[in-house]
Every structure is written in structure tokens, then in C-alpha cells.
């Protein structure tokens, strides 16, 4: 029997930013590859306003670019780069993703066309060269599909992904076990042929509840040395039942998704050892890179990319040096605790007492996190930079410190499919922001079962919401290479059909989809929005200190998520590892004043592990220093019985309790239940940057010099949340008290002064009118001398600025007025406003997209009809299964009394999907897909006016008839202009103020 209490350990958790990581300090990781931010100071903010109309490709969105491995034609590669560039996008990420081919059992000659073959390299070179000509950045995945894998290892190699499998046997009290060591309860992958016995132990069985067996840790018997030639003889003690456990290290045999992609097959590398990252780098150095490719990569300046950390094993994730690494990093021996970390089919099977079990598992996950950082992320980052590239990674998927990893990466990336709510994005934004980096990327607009039926109404509601949570680069899911063996119309797509013939994930954007006709409009909107969100530094009200940096959990701080953001509070997240960063200093009561400038820190129980009151000891020391330096701190709950994170000594327990007692006693600290966090902040004098009545409006503030940029969105916190339109006043804080507001229209690219606003000291009130998922951008910046025009604080209509004059728009006849900030009232009158006009008929011509002679060709016969009542195409005879481009034309006669002071709004009602409007041959600027009311301005004239509306659809309705075995399960989508449509006139008067 052994005493398993840990001995005091001088070495605690090693953090990158404390200087203890494997050979790479902060200076080496603090400068990300430039990604389009505008620099610093007032001049940069003014440059933003000047360049907003034409943002270029530096801040443009991009696509996953799915290839059928190396079976690509360089000429087609060049053509597809041109297609993306012509549509206004600026990034393509080469990824070998072939789920649809696997679903059809389509095979290819991987010796000739696999990932990394000369054919693949020729394609990559063509992409890089064309991308350089068209200003499209080309990124490349580190290996075929995901996770990182190479064909140069087998599951039996130390560089391959490793697992710890356990075997078990029950031995009655006083009984003898005489036989072979228990084999693993989880069978090995067929390709894994070698296993190594790590240890054999016996524990007294205290009972099983819900398939979890409680063991007595003090009863442990180490039987490893008694194993002879694979056999064990042992007699159990006379009391109690006993569990005999064996532990076997072996290769997991995991292959990258939808493989094989290479010949021989690739196997996932060990992401927790130097051998694994060495295998990736060596493959590139030995088989992929040549002088020409190196030159192209350095010129392109793109990123190596790795998808999420999907290490899949039915046993326990392991690495050959885990026991030695654990002792060094956690400071105690893991062997006595192995039962509580072993898993089978992603479930724990054994436990000790609850406290010990939790703390050991926390230490185990932290060591895995540190090994992933030191032996995978940092070596790959060094390799990428040696090629003139950066490293972009989705560093989540396990219970690891994604917050810390987001801080060290050149670009951390999130995903809209797997993340559960906006706080999941904010978790990763916290690492980026405290590191002083710029970009938080997102694998965006991917939905289950949405292949060829994704609407931009849905996509924009997602994108506009995640922008409010800190995302500022979208990599859309995705753009598919044109062709592959055995595919059907409209061509190769990575995920459709999916396994078992189901409709796949995401969309295959490109010229194959009718909406591509309008993609330059969407691309411009995204580029301008991302330009704003990559300018300056983000600013937040609150930072929540979390015990764990796990991502994609859906767990957030309830008060601020459910109540605080609804009235204007902003928040972010940090873990103890970030508090060692250079920015993490307190000055004048702000944490990281040169970065996110948090006004207060909130610390609550560990919601990811049973709501325990825990805190990392080093973090507690830092927090005490912050409080003493004047940072307001709010503690949620009773911290008198706090424990350090992980297994700890009595001395560490005493110190952390002393630290938290001293923190609680500071005059700048309040201790409250979670529901009273807002009250505590008010008592501490902490106020939000933004204030408004309760609503779903959320915001992100970025500051560049004396200019404040506010991104405001009627945002979905989670995908299943319902939204309603919001019209309300919003108070925004200005860096410079003389600042005036400007509206930045990311669809049209116009920057216009806001005429109606109110000032109260450093705060400026503006009104927002946002449909569900819609966004707007407001800039507060000091005015030039020519822009000093009085603010309008009240009016009987809507107002806009025209130089030094104000234009009042009236929806009804009668007396009208505007009230200026000085109190002066300026009056005018409107003698008449025309009644709304409802078009009586529409000429409709529809391009009916259908399969052509090959899988990648499309024919577009035109169907024509006249409609006196608007209806979806699926209800129009002859158009029921049509997908394509519809053009609606109507004529409106406005009579002879129409004047230059008359204008009109075109209310289109429901439109599916993207649309453009033309009036009298003049095409309007791009239209917000979410807002189908369009201001026609001065484009109308007396007499007859021709109004045209072009609507683009998805491909689903046609694919339901072309490939019914896949798409026939889906209901028809309602395409086209559904209305009701009205032309609503108004009258304008120019007022001298």
C-alpha cells in the first residue's frame, strides 16, 4: 500500500509569457504578420475615413478553397484565383477536403495526385503566382485536411498520435489473479500493431454509480515490476473487492478527415511532442519545398493554417514523454493518479474523492495545453516564419488554454459552426487583445445541411453578430475547385453529398451559384467592416478572469451576458497565463491601458468545473497587485474557502486564501452574488462606454488616436435566439469631447456626418434603427473647421447634413421644424407629399440554371412571364423548380408635378436572396441584403419611371430535381421578389442653420 499524497513541488505551471516556455520568449511572438490594420494615431483614423470607399484587398474576406487533393490543373487554379479577385475577395486557403468523394466511394491515384505530390505542388505554385498578381493572399494548410498529418509515419512511430488504453479485471478479496496482463478494453486501430505496457496497478473498489467506479487512492498497489513475460500473479488483500488496472501506450491510428489523401496514407502526428512537429516540418523540407516554392511563399506572405484540435481517440490522449513532462511541469508523479485521467469512448470511468479527481484532471489538461503550445504551436510558428509566412490556427477542441494560445499565434481562428454563442468568440478575442495583436479570424457561415441552400440573409445575421464579439476576418466556408472524378453538376464540392448521401455542410460559393452575380456587393461590405474592425485598439468595460481557457463551451458570465450587454456593457476574458503579458499592467485604474483598457476585473467560480472557488496562485498574486494599483475588482460569491487550481500543498492553500482575503479587503473590491455585479460596478464608479435601453444591440469599440469607431449590431448571442427590429437612442463615449458623429455605410462606402445627435460631456447620443442581424458603424472624431455645424437635437422628420445646411425629410405635409442644440428652432412647411404607389404588374424574366454537357457547365434558358400578384417562383407555373437570376421590371408614372424636392423609398418587402435595384437605367449602390427598403433619392423624375429589381437565388430548387437522392429531402425555397412592394414618396426641404 502506498501513501499517494503529493510532496511539495517547487515547479508550478509553466507559462509562455513568464519566460519558461521552451526557448521562445514574448518578443519572438508578439509581432503578427501584417494583416491590413491602418497603423496608429489621428492621421491613421483620418486615412480610414478617406479609404473607406475603396478598402482594397488587405482587409477583404476570403474562402476556404477546397481541392480534390493534387488532382488540379494549374490553368484552372489561375482561373479560380481570378474569379475570387474579380468578386472582391482577398484570401484563399488551400485545403484538401474530400468528404464528398469519400461519400461516393470515388478513388483517385494518390501516388500521382495526393497531397504534397508534384502535381499538388504545381497547383500551389500556380495559386501563389496568380495570387501575387491579383493581390489575393494564399494560405496553405500544414497537411492534408485536419488534424496535422504526414505520410512519413505509421501509428507505431513515436511521432504519431498516441493514446493510453487501459485494461481492467476484478479480483475478489483474498483471491488470486494469475494470467496475462488485462488487455485494453478499447481495441486498437488495425494499423496500430505495437503497444507498450506503462504500468499495472490495483485499487480497492468502493462502488460504482452510473458506470463510474470510485477507487480508494490510499489502497494503491504498484504491480508493474511483477509482470513477467506478459503475465501477472497477484493475491488481493483480504478486505474488499479490488480492481486490477493495466495501462498501455500505443498509436491511435488516427488519419486526417476524409482520408486517405496520400499514398502511403497519412497519420495524425503527436501534437504534444517535438517528434510530431518535427515530422511535419521535415516532410515540407524534404518533399514539398523547392527553391521556386520558397520564393513564391516568401513573396506571398500568407499563413500556414491548421484546423481545430480534433484529436480523436477512444482511449486517453497521451504522448510518449507524458509521465516525465507531467512531473516537470506539474511537480508531482502522475502514476498514482492514472485511474482518474483514463477515458474510454470520451468518458471517465474511475474517480477518487471529488476534490482530488478534479485537481488532477485540471493539472493533466494544463500539461497537455503546455505541451501543445511548446511542442506544436511554437515550432510550427517558427517554421512558418522561416518561410516568410505566419501561423493561423484554430487552437481549440480539447480542454486546453485556448486563451493563452490565441495570444501567441499570429492569427487565432474561431468557427461559426462549432461555437455556441458570442462569448465563445470573446474568449479567444481576450488572448488576441492582451497580446496586442490585431486579427481574430473565423471559419464563417458554415451550417449543417446548408450546401447549395445558404442564403446571405442567414450568413449576414451570423457575420454581423460575431463581428460584435471581436471577430474581424472572415474565411467563408467555402469555395470549391471546379471538378473531380465522378462528380455531378454543378461540380466538385467538399462536403456535398456528405456521408450516407446527406446534404453537406456549408456552401460551395463561386460562379456555379446564382448569388455569385452579387458577390462584389457582399465582398465590399465585408472588406469595409473588417477595415474598421482592424483599425486601432479594442476597448472594453470588463474583463472576466477565468480559471480555464477552454473554448467553444457556450459558458459565459451570466450577469453580463443576460443583462449587462443588453444595456451597453462590453466584456472580454483572460486567464492567469495572460497576466504575464507586457500589456497586462495597471495605470490610472485601467488594466492594459495601452490595449483593451479594462475598467474592472470580475472573478467568479469555475463554471467549467462544478462552480468551484478556485484561482491560480500566480494569478491571485497578480490580482492583488492590480487591486493595490487601483483596478476595481468584483468577486462573485464566498472566497473564504478558495483552493488553488490543481493539486496543491498546504502552504499554497494558505497563501491563496491569504491573497484572496487581502484582495477582498481592498477599498476597490466588492464581493457580491453574481446577480449584483452591476450594482457593485456602480458602487466602484465603473460605467460602460455605451448606454442604451434594454435591447439586443451589442457593440465593439475601437480607438485610433482621437477617433472612436463603434460597430453596433442587432446581434444574435446564439444561433437559435430570435431577434426583433430595434430603434433606439444610444449614448457613445468619445475620446475627444469635441468629437462629432459620422455614419460609415459599409454597403455603399459612404462616410456622412450625422446631423441629429446630442452631446453630454464626453458622451454623444445617436439613434440606431436595426433590423434583426443588421449592423451599422458610427465614428466619433473631432471636426474640421468646415464641419462645425450645429447639432439637431429634435425634428419633425428625419434630417441629414448637406455641407453647412440641414436637409429635412418629411413623410407628410404640414408645418415642420428642427431644434438645434442651442435651442433655436428652424421652421419650414411642406405643401404636399404624394401618396404611396403600388406597382400593378411586373415583367419577370428568369435565367433557369440547369446542368450543361459536363458536370461543371451550366445552361441558362430564360423563362418570361407577367405577374399581377407577386409570389415565390415555387408558386409560379413553370418556375416551380427554377434556380437562377430573376429580373423584375415595372413602370411607375409619377405625373407632371414631381419636383427635385420629391423623393421616395422603395419598400420591396420580402426578397430572396440577394438583390440589386436599378431606376431609369441607373443602378443603385449595393443594397443591404437584410434591409429591403431602398432610398431612391433623386433618381426618380416626372412622368414614367422604370424600376428594375434583380434577384439571385440559391441552387437548391433545381438540385432537388437534378440530384433528388441527395437534395430531394429538402423543401423548396421561396425565391424571388415576394413583396409587398410600395413606392413611398417624401419631400425634402433644405434649411439654413
User: What per-residue confidence (pLDDT) applies to 42?
Assistant: 58
432-442 average pLDDT score = 98
Confidence of residue 783 (pLDDT cuts 50, 70, 90): confident
Residue 34 has pLDDT above 60, yes or no: no
Residue pair 330/647 in contact by the 8 Å Cβ criterion: yes
Residue pair 604/657 in contact by the 8 Å Cβ criterion: no
User: Which secondary-structure segment (H or E) carries 296?
Assistant: helix 291-300
Rounded to whole angstroms, how far apart are CA atoms 221 and 202? 5
Residue 787 has pLDDT above 90, yes or no: no
Residue 526 φ/ψ, nearest 5 degrees:
-65, -40
DSSP 958-978: HHHHHSHHHHTTSPPP--EEE
Buried b (16+ CB within 10 A) or exposed e, 653-667: eebbbebbeebbebe
Q: Return the half-sphere exposure (C-beta side, CA atoms, 13 A cut-off) of residue 590.
A: 14
Say how many Å lie between the first and final Cα of the chain, rounded. Answer: 91
Q: How many helices (H) and strands (E) does the chain have?
A: 21, 57
Q: What is the DSSP letter of 481?
A: -
Residue pair 26/17 in contact by the 8 Å Cβ criterion: yes
Share of the chain above pLDDT 70, in %: 95
Residue 760 φ/ψ, nearest 5 degrees:
-140, 90
590-604 average pLDDT score = 97
Say how far residue 91 (Cα) sits from the centre of its chain. Answer: 16
User: What per-residue confidence (pLDDT) applies to 256?
Assistant: 96
Say how far residue 713 (Cα) sits from the centre of its chain. Answer: 16
Residue pair 494/480 in contact by the 8 Å Cβ criterion: yes
Confidence of residue 45 (pLDDT cuts 50, 70, 90): low
Residue 38 has pLDDT above 60, yes or no: no
Which of the pair, 654 or 719, is modelled with greater confidence? 654
Rounded to whole angstroms, how far apart are CA atoms 157 and 864? 65
Give the strand order in the sheet containing 751-753.
Answer: 537-539, 697-704, 707-714, 775-781, 740-744, 751-753
Residue pair 135/185 in contact by the 8 Å Cβ criterion: no
DSSP 310-377: ----SSEEE-TTHHHHHHHHHSS-SGGGGGGT-EETTEE-EESSHHHHHHHHHHHHHHHHHHHIIIII
User: What per-residue confidence (pLDDT) applies to 46?
Assistant: 72
Residue 99 has pLDDT above 50, yes or no: yes
Rounded to whole angstroms, how far apart are CA atoms 631 and 669? 9
Q: What is the 3-state secondary structure (H, E, C) of 606-617?
A: ECCCCCECEECH
Residue 417 φ/ψ, nearest 5 degrees:
-75, -45
Work out the angle at residue 116's Cα, subtended by the Cα atoms of residues 111 and 117, and round it to the nearest 5 degrees.
40
Distances (CA, A) of 59 to 407, 484, 489, 756: 21, 32, 33, 31
Which ranges of 24-70 would DSSP assign to H, the alpha helix? 26-29, 41-51
User: What per-residue confidence (pLDDT) applies to 49?
Assistant: 76
Model pLDDT for residues 768-782, shown as the tens digit of each residue? 999 999 999 999 999
Model pLDDT for residues 658-675, shown as the tens digit of each residue? 999 999 999 999 999 999
Residue 7 has pLDDT above 70, yes or no: no
The pTM of the whole model exceeds 0.85: yes
Model pLDDT for residues 172-211, shown as the tens digit of each residue? 999 999 999 999 999 999 999 999 999 999 999 999 999 9
- The rounded mean pLDDT for the chain is 94
User: What per-residue confidence (pLDDT) applies to 408?
Assistant: 97
Rounded to whole angstroms, how far apart are CA atoms 923 and 911? 18
Residue 148 has pLDDT above 90, yes or no: yes
122-144 average pLDDT score = 97
Distances (CA, A) of 780 to 536, 593, 704, 705, 762: 13, 20, 10, 11, 11
The residue with cell 500556414 is 304
Cell of 631: 483596478
Please list, in sequence order, all residues whose beta carbon lies within 8 angstroms of the beta carbon of residue 625, skipping any fewer than 6 positions away. 586
User: What per-residue confidence (pLDDT) applies to 845?
Assistant: 98
Rounded to whole angstroms, how far apart are CA atoms 431 and 373? 14
Cell of 728: 433606439
342-369 average pLDDT score = 97
Share of the chain above pLDDT 90, in %: 91
Model pLDDT for residues 958-972, shown as the tens digit of each residue? 999 999 999 999 999
Helix (H, G, I), strand (E, B) or coil at 117: coil
Model pLDDT for residues 912-952, shown as the tens digit of each residue? 999 999 999 999 999 999 999 999 988 999 999 999 999 99
Rounded to whole angstroms, how far apart are CA atoms 207 and 905? 73
Buried b (16+ CB within 10 A) or exposed e, 837-861: bebeebebebbbbbbeeebbebeee
User: What per-residue confidence (pLDDT) applies to 8?
Assistant: 34
The residue with cell 478534479 is 358
State the Cα torsion 518-523-526-528 to the nearest 10°: -110
Of 23-27, 45-49, 360-364, 950-954, which gets the smallest average pLDDT? Answer: 23-27
Model pLDDT for residues 221-259, shown as the tens digit of each residue? 999 999 999 999 999 999 999 999 999 999 999 999 999
What is the number of residues in the chain? 993
Q: What is the DSSP letter of 19?
A: I
State the Cα torsion 538-541-545-546 to the nearest 10°: -70
Rounded to whole angstroms, how far apart are CA atoms 98 and 492? 9
State the Cα torsion 425-431-436-440 to the nearest 10°: -30
Amino acid at each position: 500500500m502506498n501513501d499517494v499524497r503529493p510532496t511539495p513541488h517547487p515547479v508550478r505551471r509553466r507559462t509562455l509569457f513568464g519566460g519558461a516556455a521552451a526557448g521562445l520568449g514574448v518578443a519572438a511572438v508578439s509581432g503578427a504578420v501584417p494583416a491590413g490594420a491602418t497603423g496608429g494615431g489621428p492621421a491613421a483614423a483620418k486615412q480610414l475615413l478617406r479609404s473607406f470607399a475603396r478598402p482594397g484587398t488587405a482587409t477583404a474576406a476570403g474562402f476556404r478553397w477546397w481541392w480534390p487533393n493534387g488532382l488540379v490543373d494549374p490553368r484552372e487554379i489561375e482561373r479560380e484565383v481570378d474569379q475570387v479577385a474579380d468578386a472582391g475577395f482577398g484570401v484563399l486557403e488551400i485545403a484538401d477536403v474530400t468528404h464528398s468523394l469519400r461519400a461516393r466511394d470515388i478513388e483517385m491515384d494518390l501516388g500521382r495526385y495526393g497531397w504534397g505530390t508534384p502535381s499538388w505542388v504545381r497547383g500551389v505554385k500556380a495559386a501563389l503566382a496568380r495570387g501575387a498578381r491579383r493581390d489575393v493572399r494564399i494560405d496553405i494548410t500544414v497537411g492534408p485536411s485536419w488534424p496535422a498529418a504526414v505520410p512519413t509515419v505509421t501509428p507505431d512511430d513515436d511521432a504519431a498520435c498516441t493514446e493510453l488504453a487501459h485494461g481492467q479485471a476484478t479480483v475478489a478479496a483474498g483471491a488470486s489473479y494469475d494470467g496475462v496482463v488485462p488487455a485494453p478494453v478499447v481495441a486498437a486501430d488495425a494499423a496500430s500493431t505495437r503497444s507498450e505496457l506503462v504500468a499495472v496497478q490495483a485499487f480497492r473498489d468502493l462502488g460504482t454509480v452510473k458506470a463510474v467506479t470510485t477507487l480508494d487512492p490510499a489502497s494503491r498497489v504498484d504491480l508493474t515490476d511483477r509482470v513477467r513475460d506478459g503475465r501477472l500473479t497477484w493475491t488481493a488483500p483480504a478486505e474488499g473487492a479490488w480492481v486490477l488496472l493495466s495501462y498501455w501506450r500505443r498509436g491511435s491510428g488516427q488519419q486526417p478527415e476524409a482520408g486517405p489523401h496520400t499514398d502511403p496514407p497519412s497519420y495524425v502526428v503527436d501534437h504534444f511532442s517535438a517528434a510530431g512537429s518535427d515530422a511535419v516540418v521535415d516532410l515540407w523540407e524534404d518533399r514539398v519545398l523547392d527553391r521556386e516554392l520558397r520564393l513564391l511563399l516568401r513573396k506571398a506572405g500568407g499563413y500556414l493554417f491548421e484546423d481545430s484540435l480534433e484529436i480523436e481517440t477512444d482511449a486517453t490522449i497521451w504522448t510518449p514523454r507524458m509521465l516525465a513532462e507531467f512531473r516537470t511541469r506539474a511537480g508531482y508523479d502522475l502514476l498514482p493518479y492514472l485511474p482518474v485521467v483514463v477515458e474510454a469512448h470520451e468518458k471517465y470511468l474511475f474517480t477518487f474523492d471529488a476534490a482530488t479527481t478534479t485537481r488532477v484532471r485540471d493539472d493533466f489538461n494544463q500539461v497537455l495545453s503546455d505541451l501543445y503550445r511548446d511542442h506544436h504551436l511554437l515550432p510550427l510558428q517558427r517554421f512558418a516564419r522561416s518561410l516568410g509566412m505566419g501561423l493561423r490556427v484554430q487552437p481549440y477542441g480539447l480542454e486546453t488554454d485556448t486563451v493563452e494560445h490565441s495570444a501567441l499565434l499570429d492569427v487565432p481562428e474561431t468557427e461559426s459552426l462549432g461555437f455556441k454563442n458570442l462569448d465563445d468568440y470573446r474568449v479567444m478575442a481576450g488572448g488576441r487583445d492582451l497580446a496586442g495583436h490585431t486579427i481574430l479570424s473565423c471559419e464563417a457561415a458554415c451550417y449543417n445541411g446548408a450546401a447549395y441552400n445558404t442564403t446571405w440573409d442567414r450568413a449576414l445575421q451570423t457575420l454581423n453578430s460575431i463581428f460584435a464579439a471581436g471577430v474581424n476576418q472572415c474565411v467563408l466556408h467555402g469555395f470549391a475547385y471546379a471538378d473531380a472524378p465522378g462528380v455531378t453538376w454543378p461540380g466538385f464540392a467538399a462536403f456535398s453529398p456528405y456521408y450516407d448521401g446527406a446534404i453537406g455542410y456549408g456552401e460551395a460559393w463561386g460562379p456555379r451559384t446564382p448569388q455569385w452575380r452579387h458577390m462584389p456587393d457582399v465582398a465590399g461590405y465585408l472588406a469595409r467592416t473588417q477595415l474598421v474592425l482592424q483599425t486601432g485598439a479594442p476597448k472594453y468595460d470588463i474583463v472576466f478572469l477565468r480559471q480555464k481557457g477552454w473554448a467553444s463551451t457556450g459558458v459565459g458570465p451570466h450577469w453580463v451576458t443576460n443583462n449587462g450587454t443588453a444595456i451597453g456593457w462590453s466584456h472580454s476574458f483572460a486567464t492567469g497565463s495572460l497576466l504575464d503579458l507586457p500589456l497586462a499592467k495597471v495605470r490610472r485604474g485601467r488594466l492594459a491601458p495601452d490595449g483593451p483598457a479594462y475598467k474592472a476585473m470580475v472573478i467568479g467560480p469555475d463554471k467549467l468545473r462544478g462552480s468551484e472557488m478556485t484561482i491560480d496562485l500566480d494569478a491571485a498574486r497578480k490580482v492583488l497587485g492590480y487591486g493595490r494599483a487601483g483596478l476595481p475588482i468584483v468577486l462573485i460569491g464566498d472566497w473564504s474557502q478558495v483552493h488553488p487550481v490543481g493539486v496543491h500543498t498546504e502552504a499554497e492553500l494558505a497563501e491563496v486564501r491569504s491573497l484572496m482575503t487581502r484582495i477582498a479587503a481592498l477599498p476597490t473590491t466588492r464581493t457580491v452574488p453574481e446577480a449584483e455585479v452591476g450594482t457593485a460596478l456602480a458602487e466602484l464608479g465603473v460605467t460602460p462606454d455605451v448606454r442604451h435601453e434594454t435591447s439586443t444591440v451589442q457593440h465593439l469599440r475601437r480607438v485610433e488616436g482621437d477617433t472612436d469607431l463603434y460597430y453596433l449590431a442587432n446581434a444574435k448571442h446564439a444561433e437559435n435566439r430570435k431577434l426583433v427590429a430595434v430603434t433606439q437612442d444610444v449614448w457613445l463615449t468619445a475620446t475627444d469631447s469635441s468629437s462629432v458623429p459620422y455614419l460609415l455605410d459599409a454597403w455603399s462606402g459612404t462616410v456622412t456626418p450625422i446631423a441629429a445627435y446630442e452631446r453630454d460631456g464626453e458622451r454623444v447620443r445617436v439613434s440606431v434603427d436595426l433590423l434583426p442581424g443588421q449592423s451599422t458603424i458610427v465614428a466619433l472624431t473631432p471636426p474640421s473647421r468646415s464641419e462645425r455645424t450645429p447639432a439637431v437635437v429634435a425634428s419633425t422628420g428625419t434630417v441629414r447634413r448637406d455641407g453647412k445646411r440641414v436637409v429635412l425629410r418629411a413623410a407628410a405635409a404640414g408645418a415642420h421644424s428642427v431644434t438645434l442644440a442651442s435651442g433655436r428652432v428652424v421652421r419650414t412647411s411642406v405643401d404636399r407629399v404624394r401618396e404611396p404607389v403600388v406597382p400593378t404588374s411586373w415583367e419577370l424574366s428568369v435565367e433557369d440554371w440547369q446542368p450543361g454537357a459536363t458536370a461543371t457547365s451550366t445552361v441558362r434558358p430564360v423563362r418570361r412571364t407577367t405577374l399581377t400578384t407577386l409570389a415565390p417562383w415555387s408558386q409560379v407555373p413553370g418556375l416551380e423548380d427554377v434556380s437562377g437570376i430573376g429580373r423584375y421590371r415595372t413602370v411607375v408614372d409619377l405625373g407632371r408635378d414631381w419636383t427635385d424636392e420629391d423623393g421616395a423609398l422603395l419598400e420591396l418587402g420580402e426578397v430572396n436572396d440577394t438583390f440589386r435595384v436599378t431606376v431609369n437605367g441607373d443602378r443603385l449602390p449595393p443594397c443591404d441584403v437584410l434591409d429591403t427598403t431602398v432610398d431612391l433619392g433623386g433618381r426618380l423624375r416626372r412622368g414614367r419611371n422604370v424600376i428594375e429589381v434583380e434577384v439571385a437565388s440559391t441552387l437548391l430548387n433545381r438540385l432537388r430535381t437534378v440530384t433528388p437522392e441527395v437534395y430531394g429531402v429538402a423543401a423548396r425555397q421561396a425565391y424571388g421578389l415576394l413583396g409587398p412592394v410600395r413606392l413611398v414618396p417624401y419631400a425634402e426641404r433644405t434649411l439654413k442653420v
